[in-house]
Amino acid sequence: MPKEHGDKCDGVIIFDKSPALIWVNANRSRSTMIYTVLHEYAHAILEDRHRDWKSLEHSDPWYRVLGIVERRYFDGGEKESRAYRVR
């Protein structure tokens, strides 16, 4: 993780360079790290569709994209922990 984010967040996506770079906090559980990748991937999809993605961050369009991403990779899981297929 970039030092400015430290241990306070699960992950971050950086669009400064192409391709975008997703950082995931290694001090989290495996399921949290996988979910974080999906969360940040939803940001990448929104950025690709709408160049002004900051105005849409965690908005209804973003949650719709996240829902599609989750359904694509969610494998059922259990109540407390989610299992994801990584293809």
Tens of pLDDT, residues 27-42? 998 888 888 999 999 9
Domain residue extents for the chain: 27-73
How confident is the model over 12-30, as a mean pLDDT?
87
State how far the Cα of 29 lies from the Cα of 49, in Å rounded to an integer.
31
The sign of the CA dihedral 46, 47, 49, 51 is positive
pLDDT bin (cut points 50, 70, 90) of residue 87 is very low
**Mean pLDDT across the stretch 65-75?**
83
